[in-house]
Amino acid sequence: MPKKILVVGDSLSKGVVYDENKNKYIILKDCFFNLVADKIDADMINVSRFGSTVTQGKKQLEHSFDKYDPDIVVIEFGGNDCDFIWDDIANDPTLNHIPKTPLDVFEESIGAMVDFIENKGKKIVLSTLPPLYADNYFRWFTNNDKDKGLKVLKWLKDIWHIYWWHERYSNCIQYIARQRNIGCIDVRREFLKIKDFADYICVDGIHPNQAGHRLIFDAVINYIKEYAAYLLPSYAV
């Protein structure tokens, strides 16, 4: 009988990309989730939601767990958690603005999700974050508004501080995986192997594009081959 794999995450796991031709966000048909689902012998369930933070994800996990009774849970969060309300920053760059989910709360929340799954006797796999491309992301959330950009930069100091801040959340995920001795798919590493990783990110600077989803697919399959093939015995390694 195929294993059940529940994926809980945000727009990345949902398969959301920005379609420049349509000028809107869409769900990519060939997103990494669908590619993996077509490749392995498992019943994959995706309850990821666009815009979700880890706090919302914890509620989604608890709501979905009894319904699906998964054997394995994959958790992917951080991209929205580390983000700021940039309009508030532009309105007053002198204030001490905090992200949607402070890093200590993020760590506690991921830990609570891990506890919940372990107490159910199920397997857990975390995922690191693909890198964001700070220049494009900055232009995106400031809408190329020079005045807004200058105000945000007064608080931010350096555009690439966004990258470093985002990286802290990805590093936190790896830290939790090591500390708790649980699996972790290092998606970020696949992107950073590439010199021009921006080519694999949408124009918004943060969502992986179709080529980026292929990289994530490769990272997932490589993880399965190396660490979890016994969970998917019918997959040809």
Write the CB contacts of 227 (distance below 8 Å, at least 6 apart in sequence).
183
Angle between helices 103-119 and 54-68 (to 10 degrees): 10
What distance in Å separates the CA atoms of residue 175 and residue 6, rounded to the nearest whole number? 22
User: Which uninterrupted H or E stretch holds 167?
Assistant: helix 161-180
The whole-number pLDDT of residue 3 equals 85
**b/e map 134-151, b = 16+ CB within 10 Å:** beebbbbbbeeeeebbeb
The neighbouring-strand residues paired with 1 are none
The whole-number pLDDT of residue 236 equals 46
What distance in Å separates the CA atoms of residue 171 and residue 155, rounded to the nearest whole number? 24
What sign does the CA torsion over 142, 143, 144, 145 have?
negative
- Residue 213's alpha-carbon distances to 31, 148, 156, 179, in angstroms, are 6, 32, 30, 28
The whole-number pLDDT of residue 228 equals 62
Question: Hey, what are 114's tokens?
Answer: 């891990």
Write the CB contacts of 159 (distance below 8 Å, at least 6 apart in sequence).
134, 135, 138, 153
The whole-number pLDDT of residue 231 equals 55
The amino acid present at 113, given as its one-letter code, is: M
Write the CB contacts of 96 (distance below 8 Å, at least 6 apart in sequence).
none
The amino acid present at 120, given as its one-letter code, is: K
Radius of gyration of the chain (CA): 18
User: Which of the residues in the chain have pLDDT under 50?
Assistant: 235-237
The whole-number pLDDT of residue 83 equals 97
Contact 12, 77 (CB under 8 A): no
The whole-number pLDDT of residue 154 equals 97
| Share of the chain residues as helix, strand and coil, in percent rounded to the nearest 5 | 50, 15, 35
Q: What is the pLDDT of residues 127-145, one digit of tens each?
A: 999 999 999 999 999 999 9
Write the CB contacts of 142 (distance below 8 Å, at least 6 apart in sequence).
86, 90, 148, 149, 152
What distance in Å separates the CA atoms of residue 68 and residue 88, rounded to the nearest whole number? 40
In a 3-state reduction of DSSP, which class is residue 181?
coil
Stated pTM of the model = 0.93
Q: Which domains does the chain have, with CATH numbers?
A: 3-231 (3.40.50.1110)
The whole-number pLDDT of residue 171 equals 98
